[in-house]
Amino acid sequence: MLEQLRTYMEKQNLDGFFVQNHENVRYISGYTSDDAYLLITRGRQFLITDPRYTEHAQAECPDYTILNWRGAAPNVGEYAAQLAEQEGLKAVGFEKDLLTVKFHEALCTAPHTEWIGTEGVIEEFRSVKTPEEIEKLKVACDIASRAFERIIRDIRVGVTEKELASRLSHYMVMEGSDTKPYGNILISGARTSLLHGIPSSKAVEYGDFVLMDYGCQYKGYLSDMTRTVVVGKASAKQREVYELEQKMVAACEEQMKAGNSGRMVYEASTAVIQDTEYFPYHYTGIGHGIGLFVHEIPFMGPKHETPFKVNQVITVEPGIYIPGWGGVRIEDQVLIQENGCVNLVSATKELIEL
Ligand code: GLY
Ligand code: MN
């Protein structure tokens, strides 16, 4: 991980790289907490933080020089500028999609250092997972699937979305996830057409769809899955939409293999519904890479042409969302292989009527 970055620096003639993105800091250094920045040079590695985290950083990153910027400079940017000057760095890469103008101005107080904007460098390394990362992602998906078995026993008329969402989070922690909160979507009835609906005080009613889009973090690695169930007997329309959704997911998963692209998967999903009345209700974003962050490259939709690579982990989540009526989403998280994929989510996709 650090070596990948150094190889990149060498190719680009950079003698330093400043890392600010939270997940990139973790990926490169192994540091798991907050408010830390890395300055990587060809021969040394610095982790800049403040006294709340120095002990934590020392323990997790023994190969790094841990530095406390507080008291030494007015802000992290000026501290990093001083450090770059002290190390004699001439050209330092930084993540230009993240830095504020103020932060950039602070970096530029280094008189002899040029700061070179880069985009997506570490994100590209992160998109292909190592065996250790895959193992953690599998565990995160297993925890979420076990929590599904528990939450469906709690879904009944009268219980509110908020209460169910809170129980779902509790179950995942009890099943072994990290405690870091994750914004679970748990919505019911007509509210299930809200793609990113927030759990409300609405009580579940007979005949509702209940859509659960959720996941957890395990040793920093994320799961993201969705299942939609019916409270009571599904209506004919609910069954029709659910079955179409099942077919869309299956069509997508057939295309999930190395060399195919997000556009190809999207086209497979829409082929299922293009001649039905539900075509206008699909959404074009049908999946995303996932790892230390929930939405990372590669993304899937009509404009995503980049071929998948072996050992990328990607969600598959076409959906049908009918405003005022409701929606159905099923979301899996799959591991890309040469000739197909492995679904890491074991929870059933059959229609559940509770
Ligand atoms: N599962 C919803 C999303 O990824 O946006
Ligand atoms: Mn997702």
Q: Give the pLDDT means over successive 10-residue stretches in the chain (354 positions).
A: 96 98 98 97 97 96 97 96 97 96 96 97 98 98 97 98 96 93 89 97 98 97 98 98 98 98 98 98 98 97 98 98 98 98 98 98
pLDDT of residue 34: 93
Atom 2, ligand 1: which residue's CA is nearest?
A: 213
CA distance 332 to 340: 14
Q: Is CATH 3.90.230.10 what the domain over 131-343 is classified as, yes or no?
A: yes
pLDDT of residue 180: 75
CATH of domain 2-125: 3.40.350.10
Which residue from 249, 294, 300, 333 has its CB within 8 A of the most atoms of ligand 1, so it is best to mutate?
Answer: 294
pLDDT of residue 179: 87
Atom 5, ligand 1: which residue's CA is nearest?
A: 196
Q: Which residue has the tokens 């026993």?
A: 153
CA atoms within 13 A on the CB side of 64: 28
Q: Do domains 2-125 and 131-343 have the same CATH topology?
A: no
CA distance 270 to 151: 31
Residue 178 near ligand 1, beta carbon < 6 Å: no
Would you list the domain boundaries of the chain?
A: 2-125, 131-343
Residue 213 near ligand 1, beta carbon < 6 Å: yes
pLDDT of residue 182: 73
DSSP 263-307: HHHHHHHHHHHTTSTTGGGB-S--EEE-SSSSSEEEEESTT--PP
Residue 224 near ligand 1, beta carbon < 6 Å: yes
